[in-house]
Structure 1
Amino acid sequence: MTTTASKPPRKTWPAIVLVLVTLLVLILVIWMLDSSPRTDDAYAYADTIDVVPEVSGRIVQLAVRDNQAVKQGDLLFQIDPRPYQDALTRGRATLVALDKQIALTQRTVNAQQYNAESVRAAVESARAAAAQASDTLRRTEPLLPQGYVSAEDVDRARTAQRATQAQLSAAQLQAQQAAAAVSGVDALVAQRAVALAEISLAELNLEYSTVRAPFDGRIVSLTTSTGQFASALKPVFTLIDTRHWYVVANFRETELTHIRAGTPATVYLMSDTGRRFHGTVDSISYGVAPDEGGLALPGGLPHIQRTINWVHVSQRFPVKILVDHPDPQLFRIGTSAVAVLQPDATAARSNDGQPHGQAN
């Protein structure tokens, strides 16, 4: 009696094939997730600034409208320049008046200096006359006992000596008075420096009354109009910096191992899933606000909401991706996006010491 090996029923083969295919697909999916992390928890982002005037005044010209694209240097709005123009005109007039006053005062000072020099010359002349009179008296007095001169001659010499000495004293006093009378223009020069500073400030304020775009951007949150009074250092509207667009993608902490700054990425926006944009990782966040725990952290940290509270899930950290050649008509702050990273390309680039695909 012969026996034959039992063969599995023909019906089990499809089930076995299905299980094998499922395992292969699962392995492929796990490999793709490990080699190319992907997330749809992402959004478009760009830097913004509040456009604030440096001076206060009424808006006399509003050259933009809400959501308008502007170029660097474009006029945004004009604050009434007349008060600052008047201040500049007044400062320049003050400077002209000071310059004329300095010139006039300088002429007076020059005259005072000339007078002081003249008086000093008179002092020298009086000193010479006094010296001569003293010498004459010394020569005359010894001759009186010998009868060569009379007593009257001696008296005249003595009187001349006293007179010239008095004239010298008077000339010295006049010289001191003339020197003290010599003034200067130092105070006026100091006032001129103040006037120059006021002119510079007035010119700066006049320049500040014209507000222009500091970079290429787009106007948002514009809720004012011509005639509104704008206060210094208070925002009028917001300007989006459209020179650089980012996609902020929240990746699980378990996926951050091989992600570095410079890791290539591919992103697309939910508003147009048919277009792909390339970029590179700009930075990876080093802090998020935890959902639990009593530790107080700064309020500026990003908060990533965990979707399943009763299961311990991996925390997500924002990865900032700089987009190459973004479409300015498509990118909007907050637009939902999908990001796919290629860490292997970064590893290949670092191993080769040059961009992947280039020959050594």
Structure 2
Amino acid sequence: MAASPSPSKIHKWPALLLAVVTLALLIYVVWLVDTSPATDDAYASADTVNVVPEVSGRIVELAVKDNELVRQGQLLFRIDPRPFEQELSRAKASLVALDKQIELTQRTVTAQKFGADSVHAIVERARVASAQTTATLRRTEPLLAPGYVSAEDVDRARAAQRAAQADLIAAQLQAQQATSAVTGVDALVAQRDVALADIALMQLRLEMATVRAPFDGRVVSLKTNVGQFASALKPIFTLIDTRHWYVIANFRETELKHIRAGLPATVHLMSDTSKSFAGTVDSVGYGVLPDDGGLVLEGLPRVQRTINWVRVAQRFPVKIRIDKPDADLFRVGASAVVRLERDTATAAHGRSSG
């Protein structure tokens, strides 16, 4: 008669089978986490700009409302253009007056040049007369001793030479005065360049009074209306760039060795988990603010640790670019769940290096 298995051995088989299944599940989970890291500590993000006027003035037209979707080039708001139009008109009038002054001055300069040319001719004539009287005196003086000329003739020659020399000096002084009197228009032309620059500046300010959307986006944080005085460089509202959406996923530092730019990702938004969005890792963060003291670098993202009585791995932000975002679902700050798909080459490299 064959012996039947003991009851103790029969009870050991389910426990052994359960242990094997548990170990297999544990190995599978470890493998899944290693090859496809995931996190629910993620949120949607997009680039934003503060829409600010570049000139100060009262808002006379507000063409958008809060949370409205706008297109590139669409009118956002307009500041009262009348002060800038008046400044532009004044600058243009100044240019017209300056042009007339330049024209009048140019005529005066032309007349002065004619006068200077005539004076230079007088100088040349006086120089010739002076040279002639000097030569006559030199020929006459040697003839006095032999008696060929009288002393009176010599005196007359000397007087003529002195008079011609004086006339030459007077003509030269007059020529200098005439030359210096020829005032150019260079200074006025330089003023004209300044006037043209003022006109260009006034035109630019007038254009800045009308603010348009720099890109497709959504208006948020609008808390003003027509009649509000807008100060230059003070934000009126924020514009979200809806052309590109990202998800910032915070992964543990122990998982970063397998994460690199270019990895494919699958994203689910908490607002509608039935839809998934494909994405690509854009970059991996290299700094966060520590919670437990030490050096604090301002400007770095802060990721809170939820457990403070044990040492937990720090989390670093991984920026994921969404390929085809849904404009109605994506909102800045919306909660998300992210799973990364690590390629085979990277996984093999990670195992070999380990």
TM-score with structure 2 length normalisation?
0.90
1:77 aligned onto 2:77: yes
Deviation of residue 313 (structure 1)? 1.8
CA distances 1:54-99 after superposition (whole Å, capped 9, x unpaired):
1100111111111111112111111111111211121122122112
Question: In the aligned structure 2, how far is the partner of 1:155 from the partner of 1:253?
Answer: 117
> What SS does the aligned partner of 2:336 have?
strand
Q: How does 1:246-325 map to 2 (within 5 A)?
A: 246-293=246-293, 295-325=294-324
1:243 aligned onto 2:207: no
Q: 2:58 corresponds to which residue? A: 58
TM-aligned CA distance change 1:313 to 1:150, over 3 Å: closer
Give ranges in structure 1 of 5+ residues lacking alignment: 352-360
TM-aligned CA distance change 1:349 to 1:97, over 3 Å: farther
TM-aligned CA distance change 1:13 to 1:137, over 3 Å: closer
1:326 aligned onto 2:325: yes
Q: 1:207 corresponds to which residue? A: 207
Deviation of residue 260 (structure 1)? 0.5
Deviation of residue 264 (structure 1)? 1.0
Give ranges in structure 2 of 5+ residues lacking alignment: none
CA contact (8 A) 2:115 2:178 kept: yes
Q: How does 1:92-241 map to 2 (within 5 A)?
A: 92-143=92-143, 153-241=153-241
TM-aligned CA distance change 1:260 to 1:90, over 3 Å: same
Deviation of residue 298 (structure 1)? 2.0
Q: 1:341 corresponds to which residue? A: 340
CA contact (8 A) 2:81 2:206 kept: yes
The alignment's C-alpha RMSD in Å is: 2.4
CA contact (8 A) 1:79 1:210 kept: yes
Q: 1:357 corresponds to which residue? A: none
Question: In the aligned structure 1, how far is the partner of 2:114 from the partner of 2:242?
Answer: 70
TM-aligned CA distance change 1:348 to 1:103, over 3 Å: farther
> What SS does the aligned partner of 1:330 have?
coil
Question: In the aligned structure 1, how far is the partner of 2:27 from the partner of 2:141?
Answer: 139
> What SS does the aligned partner of 2:219 have?
strand
CA contact (8 A) 1:264 1:345 kept: no
Q: How many residues align?
A: 349
Q: 2:5 corresponds to which residue? A: 6
Q: 2:28 corresponds to which residue? A: 28
TM-aligned CA distance change 1:300 to 1:243, over 3 Å: same
Q: Mean alpha-carbon deviation: is it higher for 48-57 or for 137-146? A: 137-146
> What SS does the aligned partner of 1:169 have?
helix
Q: 1:38 corresponds to which residue? A: 38
Deviation of residue 11 (structure 1)? 6.6
Give the counterpart letter for 1:302 in structure 2: P
Give the counterpart letter for 1:216 in structure 2: D
TM-score with structure 1 length normalisation?
0.89
CA contact (8 A) 1:264 1:346 kept: no
Give the counterpart letter for 2:303 in structure 1: I
Q: 1:355 corresponds to which residue? A: none
Question: In the aligned structure 2, how far is the partner of 1:127 from the partner of 1:287?
Answer: 89
Q: Mean alpha-carbon deviation: is it higher for 8-17 or for 109-118? A: 8-17
Give the counterpart letter for 1:100 in structure 2: K
Give the counterpart letter for 1:202 in structure 2: M
Question: In the aligned structure 2, how far is the partner of 1:138 from the partner of 1:10?
Answer: 156
Give the counterpart letter for 2:31 in structure 1: W
> What SS does the aligned partner of 2:238 have?
strand
